Structure 1
Amino acid sequence: MFRIALFAVLGPMLWGTTYAVFTEFLPTTHPFFTGVIRALPAGLLLLALNPVIPKPGVLMRYAVLAVFNIAVFFSMLFVAAGRVPGGLAATLGAVQPLVVVGLVALIGRHAPHPVQVAAGIAGVAGVGLMVFSPSATLDMIGVMAALGGAVSMGVGTVLIDRWGRAGKPLEMVTWQMIFGGLILAPVAWLKEGLPPAPDLMAVAGYGWLIFFGTAFGYYAWNRGVTKLGPSAAYLALASPVTATLIGTLVMDERFGLAQWAGILLVLGAIITGVSVRRRRLAAIETVPTGAA
């Protein structure tokens, strides 16, 4: 189990490098195009490794999931990465588990545990500390993009939970990447046009995102989720932690005391909220099948 967790955590750790790679090596004026390049080649690569074409009904569901989990999420992620320090952008995006808890409660499937409600309030307070700190001079478009990406990913997660995994995780990731890239392509063309010709650093940056940050990262994550179940949610915290460490140690990003407090408060809220959800799911899973 430890080996599986160690392999799975590589996904979020690689995602945490996305912010630095984008801002240091790629044209930040083309966030939508970067989303296309990240998603579509990775999806085609995974399809070559696992050439499976699902039934039309399943493909339609993958296309809807691709809108929320890839097209909107990737575009918002890169918009945020170009405007907000990577550590803060990653932490703002990490409120997604709290979004999921709220959405599930909103559609009436499960009432949230009081601790989850408290965790949600703490998470909102943490975001407020990060964004509205007196020492913060943040681009609000970037902040809203990071939060918008978290909401979009939260909607996609709830849809996966409602529909179930119609196919294997690798298949689902593959077709979401392909559809997501195809959806983003015309948007990128109309809004941004072609980016400048890539130099060697940009080629290396695109290659890192495609092969490691997306194809391998998402494979490692989905393989871990299928083995570990809900407990894998804890591992996702490696993404904001990695982004914050890179920003602080390598990119000389400086946060005020209130922003550090906000980061810790958000991470603590996520750990608390997800752990309560995990215990509740574990309790449900232990009910004998004949009890229904």
Structure 2
Amino acid sequence: MEANVRRVALTALTAVAPVAWGANYFVTHEFLPADRPLWGAALRALPAGLVLLAVCRRRPHAAWWWRSAVLGLLNMSVFFVLVYAASQLLATSVASTVMALSPLTMMLIAWPLVSERPRATHLAGAATGLVGVCLMLLTGAEAVSVPGILASAAALLVSSFGHILAKRWSAGTDVLASTAWQLTAGGLFLLPAAAAVEGPPPAASTPTLLAFAYVSLIATALAFVAWFTGLRHLPAGTVGLIGLLNPVTGVLLGTAIAGEALTVQQLAGLALVLSGVTLGRPRRTPRPSVDRTAPAEDPAPSGPDRGGTGPSVVAPLRPGQRTLPRGFRGVGGRSGAGRGDPS
């Protein structure tokens, strides 16, 4: 019972990440400068990493010095730049549809890297969720940019590989600390690249500062701690399917902010996405059953042999033999050999 409750709590915590990321597309597209993807990624990663470092106050140790660099480059530096570019080049609906392939990608990468073979229900959930996302988001009126599609697909592949690699390396390391190290390393990689390619940081108005605060603290620091916590304790297929809540959040956010009405097609797509997420739910841990009808085993009698364990086999008296065999200790502990044993 406790294990099942824990799995439900972990699922709910993991869901924080895609919900925050679903709003991140809108915030990035509406409030952040479109021509500064490197600075946008750097100002997303580094503040988040420094905040988490201030909370956990732990430095990398042993192999985590280079692991933090590798994961920071994949999960933060490269991924954030690609997502920033995709958010500016594509409509949110198209970008979210491409990223809806992530559950299937994560399952396929997790198979060789962490020996998690995809379950049939996970594969069915991924297919169902992808169809639902297409129904929700694709109406045929979206502008499609080839560079944007390529950026979104590259972000999908890089993040899927980086997330499964983080799952492989996560044993014995605090989630908060490892997330802080990745974000800090990723931000430090991005700073010199942003300064060299894009010049000074972008001018920051109040809406821009508030947008960067949301992107860095909520959609990055909080979201990645929740996501990596889920990856550590849940199957990659389950976590990937929870990620389908990302486009659901985008659709519901557009409905709430822009006052858009959900069409029948979108409602059907929403139902399919939620069905896909449900198919990936963690399995319940069965309670151990006790067979009360099985007869209890009789303990093996302790025999009088010198080892004191197991039964002793006493040979019957031979004809004419009046004493017990040599070595047999009767009542009082006296051996038969001292009582006239002819042998």
Which interval holds the TM-score relative to the shorter structure? 0.7 to 0.9
Q: CA deviation at 1:192?
A: 2.4
Match of 1:150 among 152, 156, 170: 156
Match of 2:213 among 207, 213, 219: 207
In the alignment, the residues of structure 2 paired with residue 282 and residue 147 of structure 1 have an alpha-carbon distance, to the nearest angstrom, of: 36
In the alignment, the residues of structure 2 paired with residue 131 and residue 12 of structure 1 have an alpha-carbon distance, to the nearest angstrom, of: 16
Partner of 1:245: 252
Indicate whether 1:59 and 2:60 are aligned. no
Q: CA deviation at 1:121?
A: 6.3
Partner of 1:290: none
Match of 2:100 among 81, 87, 94: 94
Indicate whether 1:24 and 2:30 are aligned. yes
Which deviates more, 153-162 or 105-114?
105-114
Find the residue that maps to 2:173 and give its secondary structure: coil
Q: Provide the aligned length of Structure 1 versus Structure 2.
A: 279
Amino acid at match of 2:52: L
In the alignment, the residues of structure 1 paired with residue 228 and residue 131 of structure 2 have an alpha-carbon distance, to the nearest angstrom, of: 31
Higher helix share: 1
After superposition, the CA RMSD in angstroms is: 3.6
Amino acid at match of 1:15: W
Identical-residue share of aligned pairs (%):
30
Partner of 1:236: 243
Which deviates more, 36-45 or 210-219?
210-219
Find the residue that maps to 1:78 and give its secondary structure: helix
Paired residues for 1:190-205 under 5 Å = 190-205=196-211
Say which structure, 1 or 2, has more relative contact order (CA 8 Å, 6+ apart). 1
- From the superposition, tell whether residues 84 and 253 of structure 1 become closer, same or farther in structure 2 (CA, over 3 Å): farther
Could you state the TM-score of these two structures normalised by the residue count of structure 2?
0.67
Q: CA deviation at 1:104?
A: 3.6
Paired residues for 1:115-194 under 5 Å = 134-194=140-200
In the alignment, the residues of structure 2 paired with residue 3 and residue 114 of structure 1 have an alpha-carbon distance, to the nearest angstrom, of: 24
In the alignment, the residues of structure 1 paired with residue 266 and residue 78 of structure 2 have an alpha-carbon distance, to the nearest angstrom, of: 27
Please list the CA deviations of residues 251-291 of structure 1 after superposition, one character each: whole Å capped at 9, or x if unmatched: 5889999899888767766664x45xx55x979xx9xxxxx
- Stretches of structure 1 lacking an aligned partner (at least 5 in a row): 287-292
- From the superposition, tell whether residues 152 and 262 of structure 1 become closer, same or farther in structure 2 (CA, over 3 Å): farther
Find the residue that maps to 1:214 and give its secondary structure: helix
In the alignment, the residues of structure 1 paired with residue 276 and residue 96 of structure 2 have an alpha-carbon distance, to the nearest angstrom, of: 15
CA contact (8 A) 1:87 1:245 kept: no
Which deviates more, 244-253 or 190-199?
244-253
Please list the CA deviations of residues 190-229 of structure 1 after superposition, one character each: whole Å capped at 9, or x if unmatched: 3322343111111111111122222233334445556x63
Work out which of the two has the higher radius of gyration on C-alpha atoms and give 1 or 2.
2
- From the superposition, tell whether residues 232 and 159 of structure 1 become closer, same or farther in structure 2 (CA, over 3 Å): closer
Find the residue that maps to 2:180 and give its secondary structure: helix
Could you state the TM-score of these two structures normalised by the residue count of structure 1?
0.77
In the alignment, the residues of structure 2 paired with residue 76 and residue 186 of structure 1 have an alpha-carbon distance, to the nearest angstrom, of: 17
- Stretches of structure 2 lacking an aligned partner (at least 5 in a row): 289-343
CA contact (8 A) 2:36 2:202 kept: no
Find the residue that maps to 2:104 and give its secondary structure: helix
CA contact (8 A) 1:136 1:256 kept: no
Q: CA deviation at 1:17?
A: 1.4
Which deviates more, 263-272 or 36-45?
263-272
- From the superposition, tell whether residues 10 and 121 of structure 1 become closer, same or farther in structure 2 (CA, over 3 Å): closer
Find the residue that maps to 2:244 and give its secondary structure: helix
- From the superposition, tell whether residues 263 and 184 of structure 1 become closer, same or farther in structure 2 (CA, over 3 Å): farther
Amino acid at match of 2:234: G
Q: CA deviation at 1:83?
A: 1.5
Amino acid at match of 1:159: L
Please list the CA deviations of residues 20-61 of structure 1 after superposition, one character each: whole Å capped at 9, or x if unmatched: 111211101112211100100110111111111121311211
Find the residue that maps to 1:165 and give its secondary structure: coil
